[in-house]
Each structure stands twice: as C-alpha cells, then as structure tokens.
Amino acid sequence: MSAWPGDSQPLIRLLGECRIGSAGRLVYRKGWALLAYLAIERPRVHRRSRIAAMLWPDLAHGAALTNLRQVLTDLNRAIVAAAGEGVLLIDRETVRLCPVASQGLFDIDLLEPTLPAGLHAREWLEEAGELLEGVSLEQCDEFNEWLPGARAWALQRLLKALERARDDAAARGNLEVAVNLARRQVLLDPWDEAQQRSLMRLYACRGEPETALDCYRILERGLEQELAVKPQMATRTLAMEIAQRHAHAAPLRGYGRTRPVHAADKALRA
C-alpha cells in the first residue's frame, strides 16, 4: 500500500487534470478514458475486442483493434516511463492493470479512509477534481453509460478524503490548509450546506468573519437562483451568529465604532 498523499504525491492523476508522473501526457484522449476504466475496474481482465468495441463502436472490428493497439502502446510508454514495467499487462487477447503493481499509483487509490493522516499538507487534494475532468467521448454509448456512475463513486470518496484532511489540518492548527481543503469541497459540491458551514466556521476562526459571511451570501444567492429555496436554518443561524460576534468585536479591535449593519446582514435574520 502506498503512503498517504501527505507523504507522497500520486503518480497517476485521474481526478481533475489527468497526468502521469510530473508532466506525463498521452497522445490519444481515449487513452485517459481507457486508463480510468482499467483503474476503477481492477482486478478484472478485459478482452481487447470488447474494449475496442466500447471505445470505437462506429468502426469495423479490425479498425477498432488497430486504434486500440496504438492507444495501448502510447499508454504503456507513459506508464513505464513513470512507474516501470509490470503495471499495465497486455497480451494478444486481454488487457488489465496489475492489482499489486498498480496499487497506490493512482490518486483514487489514496482516498482510502484507513490510510494514516500523515504530517504534511495534502497539496494534491487541493487540486483534485472530477474524474476525467474535461474528457468526453462522443458516440461511445457504453462508456458514457459507465462514466457517470464512476464519477459519482470517485466524487464521494474524494469528498470524504477532503473532509478527513480538512479536519486533520484544523486539529493541527493549520487553518490555511484547512480552508483550502474546505474551499475545494464547496467547489465540488456547492449545495452541501454542512460543508458550507464548515468553511464559514474556519474563516471565522481565522479572523475573517466578513469572508465567512460572503460565503453565506453567495450560497444564499445561488440557492435562490438555481433551486428557489433558502439556506437551511442551521446555516442561517450560523451566519447570524458570526455577524453578531463580528459586530460586537469591532470596537475592541480599534475600529472606533460598531460596524454598521448592512442590508446583507439584515437579510440573515429574515
């Protein structure tokens, strides 16, 4: 099992911008689709004929297999350069990732809740995003039916990993890292108000109550525009508490007077 990402970076990234190694790129866009499919569907053995039909359904069988051979050659080149031999196992009939050699190389492998927290900030989590971000395959119905479920599976694991990393950073007093991780959570799942409240509390703890209230206002506006609902009572109550504490604390910080209550703050009480 690979070390937790606080101690090492994932060698192969599929969450957000895809890359292999420090700057590894693939020639073929469908190479990323294939790599994600093989990584999530480990340790299954996949027949090359079926993969070819999934990725090139509009081509004749022979042409689809030729395209697959080119994609596999490019993919294997990049993986061998970054991780060595024995990760991608290819023979005349089948292809798969070695369950042992490939374990811990991918960012999706480093989301396990059983991994130790580590001592360092998890910078890569701050950049992680949607599985195969920006990758779409036209006319590949079978793959496109598989992808939404895979993305949902990866997103839930990523959000849980971000939550654990955020709480660990906050417990260690590293509020900057905790805020960055919480912001990534909110960016990935903006309607999860529990995560919105966590971000607001972190900003308040960091001495940035106005930024915390800005988070509330953005959420309130987004919910109204997109879903025609108000924030949850717990979120509204937290925002009002932060606004009240900020107003009471202002004279003590040398502002000379209590901060005027502006319209946005009044709206918190609505």
Look at the block and give the residue holding tokens 């910078």: 123
pLDDT > 90 fraction of the chain, expressed in percent and rounded: 77
- Check: pTM over 0.85? Answer yes or no: no
Q: pLDDT, tens digit, for every residue of 239-269?
A: 999 999 888 766 544 444 444 444 334 433 4
> What is the residue-level pLDDT of the chain in tens, covering all 270 positions?
333 344 467 899 999 999 998 767 899 999 999 999 999 999 899 999 999 999 999 999 999 999 999 999 999 999 999 999 999 999 999 999 999 999 999 999 988 776 555 444 477 888 899 999 999 899 999 999 999 999 999 999 999 999 999 999 999 999 999 999 999 999 999 999 999 999 999 999 999 999 999 999 999 999 999 999 999 999 999 999 999 988 876 654 444 444 444 433 443 344
Instruction: Say how many C-beta atoms besides its own lie within 10 A of residue 189's C-beta.
Output: 17
Q: pLDDT, tens digit, for every residue of 85-99?
A: 999 999 999 999 999
For 195, what's the count of Cα atoms within 13 Å in the CB-facing half-sphere?
Answer: 22
